Amino acid sequence: MLVYKIFRRSEWDVFVAEGQSAGAPIDLIDGYIHMSTSQQVVETAAKHFAGESDLVLVAIETDRLGPALKWEPSRGGALFPHLYRKLRSSDAVWDKSLPLGAAGHIFPEGVI
């Protein structure tokens, strides 16, 4: 199963350069990396990245994350994937730009 992490370009650049990431400032505060399923990622983008245009969407295979991936209740009781370790570049299946269109973020075909 794929889950998704949205990075701002500056966060993405650090991830690429270092080969790993502890996440965005909110992830550091919460102590885990916030991720979303394909059913959750559109709302995540709208809620936490509204108006931001230079984003990168990263697809991550859950099997690569092992026991550090926990499914925990969040918005309205829905279970969200949370990663309790650094995200490594080897965890990523692919990455694509997540541009902002007139009606919101434009997701790659097949994600939603």
Rounded to a whole number of angstroms, the CA Rg of the chain reads: 13
Tokens 């399923």 locate to 37
**Residue 15's pLDDT is what?**
97
Q: Write down the domain spans for the chain.
A: 2-105
**Residue 71's pLDDT is what?**
98
**Segments of the chain with pLDDT less than 70:** 75
Q: How far is it, in rounded angstroms, from Cα 101 to Cα 84?
A: 32
**Residue 11's pLDDT is what?**
96
What CATH code would you report for 2-105?
3.20.170.20
Of residues 19, 84, 99, 5, the one with CA closest to residue 52: 99
**Residue 76's pLDDT is what?**
82
Q: 77-100 in b/e burial notation, b at 16+ Cβ within 10 A? A: eeebbbbeebbeeebeeebeebeb
The answer to whether 86 and 20 have CB atoms below 8 angstroms apart is yes
